[in-house]
Amino acid sequence: MNFKIPFIPEQASTLARDVDHLTFALVGISTFFTVLIAAMVLVFVVRYRRRSADEVGSNFDNSTLLEITWTVIPLLIVLFTFAWGARIYFNLYRPPADAVQYYVTGKQWMWKTQHPTGQREINELHVPVGQPTKLLMTSEDVIHSFYIPAFRTKADVLPGRYTSIWFNATKPGRYHLFCAEYCGAEHSRMIGSIVVQSPEDYQKWLASVPVPQAPAAQGQQLFTQLACTSCHQEGSEAKGPALAGLYGSAVRLADGRDVAADEQYLRESILSPSAKVVAGFQPVMPSFQGQLSEDGVLALIEYIKSLPADRTASNQIAPEAAR
């Protein structure tokens, strides 16, 4: 029987090679100095051992050059690896502008995923090869960790907030998905797959899966059902700030701070509206905590993001002013 145990997982994303190179470099540097120090200890033990009971060791002068050498060289190595690692870290957690956003919700003990066009999956996510893919993630209960070894990407999935990662798969295939954070009795069963397909096969797969409703359309329906339109409207009589063009802008708060209207801000405004009150408005909005599922919150956010920025609301300021 030909049984093969891979030394490392397959490299299946644009980021995998960079992560592996840094890992191998750190292992190599650590191994080199471990062997060097162990060899020097053995040499000194043999060469400078006491040869007779009355032998006394001799004094020696400090070597400034030696002390500078063994201080500067490790310092340079550490600074070099820090800069290298920081560059990779920024690449891992800063998705490109053209990344397509998918949604992931962790729940004991499964992964729920949703495509931007509305298709949903359990413990699987189909994506096309060569497409930068961003995952916007949250948890319904406890802390989970979304880990794809072949892509060398991992991030905690937290209740009450959003986290994100991205990848660009380079090879079609089926790749393991794990929860890398102990999350309860059946943690080991919280596994799944990332299915990478050619663009043509991916489009065929999308067409074969029924779409219950696109997230933005679902959000628009919830927006109407929850009577949000009664407060969030244009005009001087509005009780809440206008939402057209809100996403991505800078918002002036009642306490004088300026914050970015990203997904986290929108989520907090829906579930804890009194946390950040917009300047010029009163904290009269009720909380929808416990009334909306995570899917519902995401749908509302997608609807707000879809509103065109064709009007300028008084609560928004130029993005440069928030810097």
pLDDT tens-digit readout, 230-256: 888 776 567 888 888 888 888 888 888
314: domain range? Answer: 215-322
- Which CATH number covers residue 293? 1.10.760.10
Flag whether 58 is in a domain: no
- How many structural domains is the chain composed of? 2
pLDDT tens-digit readout, 168-206: 999 999 999 999 999 999 999 999 999 999 999 999 999
State whether 123 and 138 are in the same domain.
yes
State whether 34 and 108 are in the same domain.
yes
Flag whether 43 is in a domain: no
State whether 166 and 227 are in the same domain.
no
Flag whether 53 is in a domain: no
| Cβ atoms 181, 144 nearer than 8 A | yes
| Cβ atoms 113, 193 nearer than 8 A | no
Answer whether 0.95 is exceeded by the pTM: no
State whether 267 and 305 are in the same domain.
yes
User: H or E element: which one contains 139?
Assistant: strand 133-139
Flag whether 52 is in a domain: no
State whether 104 and 143 are in the same domain.
yes
CA distances from 163 to 55, 103, 261, 276, 301 (A): 66, 10, 15, 20, 15
What average pLDDT does this structure show over 285-307?
A: 87
Flag whether 80 is in a domain: yes
Confidence class of residue 29 from pLDDT cuts 50, 70 and 90? very high
Flag whether 196 is in a domain: yes
Give the DSSP letter string of 196-253. EE-HHHHHHHHHHS--S--HHHHHHHHHHHTTGGGTB-SSTT-SB---TT-TTSEEEB
Token pair 């406890």 in the structure block, residue: 142
Sign of the torsion angle spanned by Cα atoms 149, 155, 158, 160: negative
User: H or E element: which one contains 206?
Assistant: helix 199-208
Residues in a beta bridge with 176: 193
State whether 234 and 128 are in the same domain.
no
State whether 279 and 247 are in the same domain.
yes
Residues in a beta bridge with 123: none
State whether 146 and 197 are in the same domain.
yes
Flag whether 56 is in a domain: no
DSSP 164: E
